[in-house]
Chain A
Amino acid sequence: MQRRQFLKASAATVAALSAPSILRAANSPLKVGTYGGYFQESFDQYIYPEFTAATGIEIESIAEPTGEAWLVQLAQAARAGQAPADVSMIAQLARIKGERSGLWAPLDEAALSNLGNLPDHFVHRYEDGKVYGTGAVSWYITLVTNTDVFAEAPTSWTALWDAANADKLGLMSMATNSFLLEITATTYFGGTDILKTDEGVLQVMDKLAEVKSNVRLWYRDEGQFQQALETGEIPMGQYYHDVTGLAASQGKPVRSSFPDEGAVLDSGSWVVSKASKALEPAQEFINYMAQPAIQAKLSRFVGTAPTVSRELTDLTDEEFAAVSSDKAPILPLNEIYVDRGDWINQMWSEKITG
């Protein structure tokens, strides 16, 4: 390539990149973001091709980083009128933060005929009642054990406090991803209401601090804990129900138990960036995903719990048990981490992991 040609070509590329509206005009695919890795691969394989076949809408699969990095990227891009993805799967904390700053595009309820399938807590609305998102997938965080070390499955979260389990636990390292405050409040304080005041949070933290001597690993990296759980090095802890089930089905000596107090039900939601220029196909996608048949498919192939109620799906008892439970779940109090996140995280560092 000659220098002049190169300059011409790069000038053309720069012009094209800086004019996204031109790119869009050419009937571009709908960009859908999911967490990179397992989720993205599963959606690429099981969901997108059939969606395209059913609706004629092409999908460009985008890998999102976990944590709040994606929220920050979406917010920055929206200021410049850009949308790195039209539809994004987003964690609840990031969803609420985006709601507060008006980052999500309001959706047209008339275009969402399947909205009725979802329970209220999976239909996200702005204060003025406008819908802006729906529950995408949900998953349980349960009490997991190594079956070689624990012959009997534990039945209660109180096992975490049992002095017999000294130095045996692996727990997630942050208040905002472990939901241990909710677990402690439900187990010892009759529910999560106590967490609505600062004094209540501190009281719960004092109770949770009693598990410190039992904890060998406060993990940020899931792989590290899973490996230690499978070898029996760290034989008890909290982990994802679906992944643990998958490991057990591959012959690993692990089990996931739904404690009597309930397991934590965490979830991701679909939202549309306000900078997206593909609102209609985005709504079509969100509506498509709220069908019981699609939720059942996600349960079978991706291992997530359905966001629609069980009766609507055709999941067998066995299939349902693999991803969920009829026991009442512990629901994360996401709002407190948005309103008092810095304070809770600081207290958490000082009292729990410090």
Chain B
Amino acid sequence: MSATSVQTATPRWLGLWPAAMLTLFFLVPFGIMLAVSVAHRDVSGFYEWSFEWDSYARFLSAFFGKVMAVSISVSLTAAAICVALAFPFTVFLSNMGHRAQTRILVVLLSALALSEVIIGFSLSTLLSQTAGIGNLFHWLGLIDEPRAYTPSLFALITGLCYIGFPFAVLVLYPPVSRLDPEIVEAARVMGASGPRAFFGVIVPNLRGAIVGAFILVFVFTLGSYLLPQLLGRSEHWTLSVHITDQAVYQSNLPFGAAMSVFLMLVALALVGLASLAGRERGAA
């Protein structure tokens, strides 16, 4: 019954609208990027249309391999931390009263309105030697002298998690709040301890949502190019930072485009792997 009502409620041709928008605003720019990535770099300015693999060949070096590894591991770490924090947080949140839930969700949503620049500058102040949290630790007698915690990998991951956390909660919240409490109760009645019920019943039931949140944060942080500059050391500059350098400062659009294609392919491969893993185990 529900299937037929869905069909009558939304006429098929409505699907053409998103399809047209996707073509116009995703496929066409993507096509241009692919075309630019094989264009010929003109050192005295821009690029000329042609078909050559030079930009891709330049990318295949130990140096950019290292940069790619940094990008992926930074984003994987941020995604893992975000999900590890957001999942118990969301479970806890869904057990709260309705008004409290709404308030907390509104606060989380408003954090999304902050730009990367503001988050980056705020964190670099908070973690600085002159005005930062090191002074508090010093005052409390925990450390001998106020010190800076930025720029560092820790600062960078903190910044990325700040951005990624609300997304993870928003992805997890609907399935978590819909989870039938009787399943957990049943587990408890059968004698499972709290942690056991959590890891043995809640987590497996929501594996799909967890993988979804992980992928979203991973892909989202992979594109970050401001925070690595503001909070990371130069060895933590991600591929996105190098793409910006090529596109904006060295006007080498073909190389920037080729790096973007690489980054996207690697991201797609990892997303594919993750969702595959999520689906198989979820079904088991």
Q: Which residues of A pack against B, CB within 8 Å?
A: 67-69, 71-72, 75-76, 97-98, 100-101, 173-174, 176-177, 215-221, 224, 228, 231-233, 338, 341-342, 345-346, 349-350, 353-354
Q: How far is the CB of B108 from chain A (nearest CB, A)?
A: 28
Contact call A342/B234, Cβ cutoff below 8 A: no
Residues on the B chain within 8 Å of A173, using CB: 234
Q: Give the contacting residue for B250; candidates A216, A231, A345; CB below 8 A.
A: A345
Alpha-carbon gap, A200 to B129, bound state (A): 39
- Within 111-161 of B, Cβ neighbours of A (below 8 Å) are at 121, 124, 128-131, 148, 151
Contact call B44/A101, Cβ cutoff below 8 A: yes
With A349-B63, A354-B235: A221-B45 Cβ-Cβ less than 8 Å: no
Alpha-carbon gap, A350 to B43, bound state (A): 20
Nearest B residue (CB) for A173? B234
Nearest A residue (CB) for B66? A354
Alpha-carbon gap, A228 to B229, bound state (A): 14
Contact call B46/A75, Cβ cutoff below 8 A: yes
Q: Give the contacting residue for B43; candidates A342, A349, A353; CB below 8 A.
A: A342
With A76-B46, A101-B44, A341-B250: A174-B245 Cβ-Cβ less than 8 Å: yes
Residues on the B chain within 8 Å of A177, using CB: 249
Residues on the A chain within 8 Å of B58, using CB: 346
Please name 28 pairs of A and B residues whose Cβ atoms are closer than 8 Å in the assembled complex, sorted by A.
A67-B251, A68-B251, A69-B248, A71-B251, A72-B45, A72-B251, A76-B46, A98-B45, A173-B234, A174-B245, A174-B249, A176-B250, A177-B249, A215-B234, A220-B229, A224-B121, A224-B230, A228-B128, A231-B130, A232-B130, A233-B128, A233-B148, A341-B43, A341-B250, A342-B250, A353-B234, A353-B237, A354-B235
Residues on the B chain within 8 Å of A76, using CB: 46
B252 at the interface (CB under 8 A from A): yes
Contact call A354/B63, Cβ cutoff below 8 A: yes
Nearest B residue (CB) for A65? B248
Alpha-carbon gap, A342 to B252, bound state (A): 9
Nearest A residue (CB) for B250? A345
Determine the main DSSP class of A at the interface with B: helix
For the complex, count residues of B whose C-beta is within 8 A of A. Answer: 29
User: Which of A71, A72, A220, A341: most chain B CB closer than 10 A?
Assistant: A220
Contact call A231/B235, Cβ cutoff below 8 A: no
Residues on the A chain within 8 Å of B237, using CB: 353
Residues on the B chain within 8 Å of A217, using CB: 151
Contact call B131/A231, Cβ cutoff below 8 A: yes
Nearest B residue (CB) for A230? B130
Contact call A233/B63, Cβ cutoff below 8 A: no
Q: Give the contacting residue for B45; candidates A75, A220, A342; CB below 8 A.
A: A75
B242 at the interface (CB under 8 A from A): yes
Q: Which residues of B pack against A, CB within 8 Å?
A: 41, 43-46, 58, 63, 66, 121, 124, 128-131, 148, 151, 229-230, 233-235, 237, 242, 245, 248-252
Alpha-carbon gap, A90 to B148, bound state (A): 39
Q: Give the contacting residue for B44; candidates A97, A218, A221, A224; CB below 8 A.
A: A97
With A68-B249, A233-B148: A101-B234 Cβ-Cβ less than 8 Å: no
Contact call B44/A67, Cβ cutoff below 8 A: no
Alpha-carbon gap, A219 to B229, bound state (A): 8
Contact call A231/B45, Cβ cutoff below 8 A: no
Residues on the A chain within 8 Å of B249, using CB: 67-68, 174, 176-177, 220
Q: Give the contacting residue for B128; candidates A71, A100, A231; CB below 8 A.
A: A231
Q: Give the contacting residue for B242; candidates A216, A228, A349; CB below 8 A.
A: A349
Alpha-carbon gap, A217 to B44, bound state (A): 30
Nearest B residue (CB) for A79? B46
Alpha-carbon gap, A89 to B151, bound state (A): 35
Contact call A233/B129, Cβ cutoff below 8 A: yes
Alpha-carbon gap, A353 to B130, bound state (A): 25
Alpha-carbon gap, A345 to B246, bound state (A): 10
Residues on the B chain within 8 Å of A69, using CB: 248, 251
Alpha-carbon gap, A1 to B230, bound state (A): 49
- Nearest first, the 7 closest Cβ-Cβ pairs linking A and B are A353-B234, A68-B251, A97-B44, A231-B130, A100-B44, A101-B44, A218-B234
Nearest A residue (CB) for B41? A342
Nearest A residue (CB) for B67? A354
Residues on the B chain within 8 Å of A71, using CB: 45, 251
Alpha-carbon gap, A350 to B58, bound state (A): 13
Q: Give the contacting residue for A221; candidates B43, B151, B229; CB below 8 A.
A: B229
Q: How far is the CB of A83 from chain B (nearest CB, A)?
A: 16
Residues on the A chain within 8 Å of B151, using CB: 216-217
Residues on the A chain within 8 Å of B230, using CB: 221, 224
**Known contacts A101-B44, A338-B43; 4 further A-B pairs (Cβ under 8 A):** A72-B251, A75-B46, A98-B44, A233-B130
Residues on the B chain within 8 Å of A174, using CB: 245, 249
Q: Give the contacting residue for B234; candidates A98, A341, A354; CB below 8 A.
A: A354
Alpha-carbon gap, A98 to B42, bound state (A): 12
Q: How far is the CB of B234 from chain A (nearest CB, A)?
A: 4
Q: How far is the CB of B211 from chain A (nearest CB, A)?
A: 34
Contact call A101/B242, Cβ cutoff below 8 A: no
Q: How far is the CB of A132 from chain B (nearest CB, A)?
A: 15
Alpha-carbon gap, A69 to B130, bound state (A): 37
Q: How far is the CB of B207 from chain A (nearest CB, A)?
A: 39
Nearest A residue (CB) for B251? A68
Nearest B residue (CB) for A146? B130
Residues on the A chain within 8 Å of B63, using CB: 346, 349-350, 354
Alpha-carbon gap, A290 to B13, bound state (A): 66
Q: How far is the CB of A244 from chain B (nearest CB, A)?
A: 18
Contact call A72/B46, Cβ cutoff below 8 A: yes
Residues on the B chain within 8 Å of A342, using CB: 41, 43, 250, 252
Alpha-carbon gap, A101 to B242, bound state (A): 27
Q: How far is the CB of B150 from chain A (nearest CB, A)?
A: 9
Residues on the B chain within 8 Å of A219, using CB: 229
